Amino acid sequence: MRKVVIVSIFTSSLIVAGGYKIPEQSLNSMALGGAYVAHTTGADSAYFNPANMVFLNLDKNIMEAGLTLVHLNENRFRGKQALSPTNIYDANGTSEVENKSIPYFHYISNPIGNFRWGMSLIVPAGLKKRWLVHPNRYTINTNEFENAYQELFAKEFTLRVTEFNPALSYKIFDNLSIGGGVRLIYSEGEVYNNGNYVNLPIRREMQGNTIEYGYNLATTYRPLSDINLAMTYRSNVNLNEKADSKDTNLYIGNIGKQYSANVNIPLPASFNFAISKTWLDRFTLEFDYERTYWSKYKSLDFNYGSKIPSALVGPFDNPKIKNWKDTDTFRLGATIKMDNITYMLAYAKDETPIPKEYISYELPDSDANIYSMGVRIDINDALSWGVAYLHDEKDTTTLKAGENKNGIIGKFSKGGADLITTSFSYKF
């Protein structure tokens, strides 16, 4: 193993939703790839467009519960890592495949005059990325461990976010409504770094959590009975992840010390404009434009409750520039209702917020094409169930020498995700 020195380009970060946002939080939204803002038809209106709650033609309570199984595909990197202009090393690596399950719940009350209220319990963001060294796995044509440099930057990088979203809507006219709600968010994050496999005797172990809040607003206008125009806005929420001294450990060699720490990361604001058109009460086409305001994420800055050793200031304390950009997502979804069966399919084009110069191993994100489909079956007037599938296909990213501020030279491929949602809904 070659011997290297500690350099200030070393970085690790705690990630929050966006390039790791999970916008699909129900059966219909999964099947329609998120093109589900103007024409929402069930209890999930409480989350996706609370203004539509008063337009649901049901004088009943409505609920939907479901489970999404998420398969995060491996990221593959083939190339080199520059720790300085003269210290450049082979750094082939493959991240771990991750599988997780995400539950959700939506509820809408029966109408109270021109008012209606609802609530949602969802997981709007999350990520788990691990580049673990396997003792007998080596990079091609070298004696160095595969994933060694990736483990230095991101041995494990995990975020869990849970949101409770109570909402209220009001019908101003028969064709115009408004709605809004409160975002109550609990999040947990974990960061682990290990330099032992590249002869850097430094490590970091951190676990943090926080409770934060924000808001969401919505309006729907129906110029004709078969056309919906909708706008929604979800506020930015700053997640100030805090770790007690027992939850943060910094090591030089085998000598470690505990610190209290915190890091502030934005869960970005988003704006949606959507339009839907329905023909013969059976076929609906919806177009949705989403703007996500990632430019709030300028840098990542860990703060410690007491002074840390000078050898660790560069890797663990100096602010890390992010300079993410606002992104556009375009979604097109189709719904076909045939008696007691509803078919759905969609396509979306999603931008990454991360400029090439700031891509890192924590999230080697890229633009994506998203394909989805699903079916809902009405068992009777009160009960229905369904299943949906979504495939997120990431573009390959190539980084030339000097193009990336984190010293990454090479190609990221694969990645992406596959999601399957099952659910049931009940009216009572």
pLDDT tens profile 106-131: 999 999 999 999 999 998 877 778 88
Is the pLDDT score of 25 beyond 80? yes
Per the model's pLDDT, the better-predicted residue between 74 and 375 turns out to be 375
Both ends of the chain: CA-CA distance in Å?
66
Position 39 confidence tier, pLDDT thresholds 50, 70, 90: very high
- CB count in 10 Å sphere of residue 417: 17
- CB count in 10 Å sphere of residue 38: 28
What's the rounded Cα separation, in Å, for the pair 342 and 295?
38
Could you report the per-residue pLDDT of 304-330, keeping only the tens digit for each?
888 888 878 877 778 888 899 999 999
Could you report the per-residue pLDDT of 295-305, keeping only the tens digit for each?
998 888 888 88
Task: Give the per-residue pLDDT at 4.
Answer: 33
DSSP 25-36: -SHHHHHTTT--
Is the pLDDT score of 48 beyond 70? yes
Task: Give the per-residue pLDDT at 137.
Answer: 61
What's the mean pLDDT in 379-386?
A: 96
What's the rounded Cα separation, in Å, for the pair 210 and 185?
8
Per the model's pLDDT, the better-predicted residue between 80 and 136 turns out to be 80
Is the pLDDT score of 1 beyond 70? no
Which residue, among 30, 196, 48, 174, has the nearest Cα to 114 in the 3D structure?
Answer: 174
Task: Give the per-residue pLDDT at 248.
Answer: 86
What's the rounded Cα separation, in Å, for the pair 263 and 300?
7
Is the pLDDT score of 136 beyond 70? no
Beta strands 408-414; 397-399: pairing state: antiparallel
What's the rounded Cα separation, in Å, for the pair 150 and 92?
9
Contacts of 211 (CB under 8 A, 6+ apart): 184, 185, 186
Task: Give the per-residue pLDDT at 320.
Answer: 83
Q: Which two tokens stand for residue 253?
A: 């060699």
Q: 169 near 50, Cβ under 8 Å?
A: yes
- pTM of this prediction? 0.89
Cβ burial 336-356 (10 Å sphere, 16+ → b, else e):
ebeeeebebbbbbebbbbbee
Q: 294 near 18, Cβ under 8 Å?
A: yes
Q: 33 near 346, Cβ under 8 Å?
A: yes
Which residue, among 272, 183, 298, has the nearest Cα to 235 in the 3D structure?
Answer: 183
- CB count in 10 Å sphere of residue 396: 11
Cβ burial 210-222 (10 Å sphere, 16+ → b, else e):
bebebebbbbbbb
User: Backbone phi, then psi, for 149, in 5-degree steps?
Assistant: -75, -30
Biggest CA-to-CA distance, the chain: 73
According to DSSP H, which parts of 4-133 are helical? 27-31, 45-48
Per the model's pLDDT, the better-predicted residue between 332 and 160 turns out to be 332
Q: 109 near 116, Cβ under 8 Å?
A: yes
Q: Which amino acid, 404?
A: N
Task: Give the per-residue pLDDT at 11.
Answer: 32
Is the pLDDT score of 193 beyond 70? yes
Position 143 confidence tier, pLDDT thresholds 50, 70, 90: low
Question: Quick one: how far is CA 302 from the chain centroid?
Answer: 21
What's the rounded Cα separation, in Å, for the pair 82 and 404?
10
Task: Give the per-residue pLDDT at 9.
Answer: 28
Specify the fold of 27-427. Porin (2.40.160)
Position 21 confidence tier, pLDDT thresholds 50, 70, 90: low
Is the pLDDT score of 12 beyond 60? no
Q: 152 near 194, Cβ under 8 Å?
A: yes
User: Any idea which residue has 């430019």 for tokens?
Assistant: 295
Q: Which two tokens stand for residue 294?
A: 């990632």
User: Any idea which residue has 């430094």 for tokens?
Assistant: 202
